Amino acid sequence: MKKNFQIIDRRDFLKKTGLGAAALALSPALLAQAQANGKLRIAQIGVGAMGVEDLKAISSHPLVEVVALCDVDSTNLGKAAADFPQAKTYADYRVLLKELKNDIDAVVVSTPDHTHAPASLMAMKMDKAVYCQKPLTHHVSEAREMKKVAEKKGLVTQMGIQVHSFYDYKLATLLIQSGIIGKVHTVRAWSPKNWGTDDPMPQGSDPIPADLDWNLWLGTAPERPYKEGEYHPGNWRKVLDFGCGTLGDMGVHIFDTPYNALALDVPRTIKNECRQPTGFGFPENNIVTYEFPATPYTAETLTWIWSDGPGAPADHPDLALPNGDKLPDQGAMFLGEKGRLLLPHFMQLPRLIVDGQYKEMDIAQFNLGEPVKDYAAESKKHYHEFVDACLGKTECSAPFSYSANLTETILLGVIAGRFPNETLHWDSKKARFEEEKANEFLDGKYRKF
């Protein structure tokens, strides 16, 4: 690990890693090159955990060629390289992008959250199409930056929120927009997952494993000693400097369909009922209440209540099911003028509830075909959509123009966890809270590494 480091401004980092590339997007030249080659040349950044699944799914497209693999863990990298022996391997994504800038068309980013934006933006500023895992970014300012760069350059982009392309979620969107429960006034969403911790920051240090480049794993995050089992490979989601807690992990998935179906923008107010901040980990239980301005599918105000952690959600009349049925482990409930719509997470059809009873729905009218119960097949749709969009055959359904706003909404709730039980007011045009003390958490200082 490098012991001497500097804190640099995020804009300086982006400027230095952007290489001053002209706006080519997935330009006619790049598109022609990819089509002439017959393949879309992919670089995969991050090949552990979810990165493995991303790599399998995107490489299953017959027109994908995996050109490069990158991971800070050489064991993960070696396993991936065994399946793609023709791919060049790297520990540092910056080296990969600079060396192969003329040999790749698109980049898949599957790192921990804090590296999503630094890696994606460097690739985008080199005019590469980007598929980035959820949540899109670690900071609100990064989400806005990624949206801005994608729009300016006309890049093909997709956030890795595979359920966005699933049958069940498409059906729920069409049902809500058809007016099946009328104008929606409330959404309740929940997950009992617990990507939080009340523990203090671990003290001391452990030897860095020989197969891990700890400095590169930290990337732009503040330097700290390596502690076995605390950060890499699995628990980083719990830590403020690296992840986004349960809300940032599962909230993005479960928010997506209601957010899309109701055509929401960003909220006006946010309140998080949780424990006092510790400065290290996310709260273990959060109840986050958002208020959104009206859309054509909502009442004058849309109230959104998210709950997570052990025991979530608490019993509430809004969530009572017919016949004493048990709620799905994770999901969302839409409440409207004419009834309720339950959307389990995932691979279960939505259920219509009217006057306390389930009601049959005519879903054939939406021409979605038969429900699909194969997760792998459903998941591939989202990745293949990205590849086909890169090749000019379709458009992405979760581009950064959409997913940056969804991520911003999620991250505002994460920030509200720093100010328990206090209502924060968000000014979307200014990209600032009315409560000045909260604005320092919209951005982050990047460590030079």
pLDDT, averaged across the chain: 93
For range 134-162, the mean pLDDT: 98
For range 107-128, the mean pLDDT: 98
For range 254-273, the mean pLDDT: 98
Please provide the DSSP assignment of 156-199 as one string: -EEEE-GGGGSHHHHHHHHHHHTTTT-SEEEEEEEE-------S
Distance CA 421, CA 426 (A): 16
Q: What is the pLDDT of residue 397?
A: 97
Tell me the three state secondary structure of residue 139. Answer: coil
Query: Tens digit of pLDDT for each residue in 189-199?
Result: 999 999 999 99
Distance CA 313, CA 232 (A): 30
Q: What is the pLDDT of residue 17?
A: 41
For range 376-381, the mean pLDDT: 92
For range 115-139, the mean pLDDT: 98
pTM for the structure as a whole:
0.92
Residue 33 token pair: 């090159």
Sheet of 40-45, strand order? 88-90, 64-70, 40-45, 106-109, 129-133, 157-160
Q: What is the pLDDT of residue 2?
A: 35
Tell me: pLDDT of 6 over 80: no
For range 258-272, the mean pLDDT: 98
Distance CA 89, CA 75 (A): 12
For range 367-386, the mean pLDDT: 92
Tell me the three state secondary structure of residue 323. Answer: helix
For range 312-317, the mean pLDDT: 97
At 15, the pLDDT band (50, 70, 90 cuts) reads: very low
Q: What is the pLDDT of residue 32?
A: 55
Tell me: pLDDT of 5 over 80: no
Strands 357-359 and 351-354: antiparallel
Query: Tens digit of pLDDT for each residue in 339-374?
Result: 999 999 988 999 999 999 999 999 999 999 988 888
At 375, the pLDDT band (50, 70, 90 cuts) reads: confident
Q: Find the length of the chain.
A: 449
Q: Which of 254, 253, 236 is nearest to 245 (CA)?
A: 236
Q: What is the pLDDT of residue 36?
A: 59
For range 222-249, the mean pLDDT: 97
Distance CA 51, CA 77 (A): 11
Q: What is the pLDDT of residue 4?
A: 35
Between residues 281 and 22, the one the model is more confident about: 281
Tell me the three state secondary structure of residue 424. Answer: strand
Q: Is residue 305 a contact partner of residue 186, using CB atoms and an 8 Å limit?
A: yes
Q: What is the pLDDT of residue 373?
A: 82
Q: Which of 420, 412, 413 is nearest to 276 (CA)?
A: 420
Query: Tens digit of pLDDT for each residue in 394-424?
Result: 999 999 999 999 999 999 999 999 999 999 9
Distance CA 63, CA 402 (A): 26
Cβ-based neighbours of 209, under 8 Å, separated by 6 or more: none
Tell me: pLDDT of 299 over 70: yes
Query: Tens digit of pLDDT for each residue in 205-216?
Result: 999 999 999 999
Residue 448 token pair: 């030079």
Tell me: pLDDT of 234 over 60: yes
Cβ-based neighbours of 366, under 8 Å, separated by 6 or more: 171, 174, 175
Amino acid found at 8: I
Tell me: pLDDT of 230 over 60: yes
Residue 285 token pair: 């239980």
Q: Which of 174, 127, 132 is nearest to 25 (CA)?
A: 127
Specify the residue for token string 């429900």. 371
Q: What is the pLDDT of residue 1?
A: 35
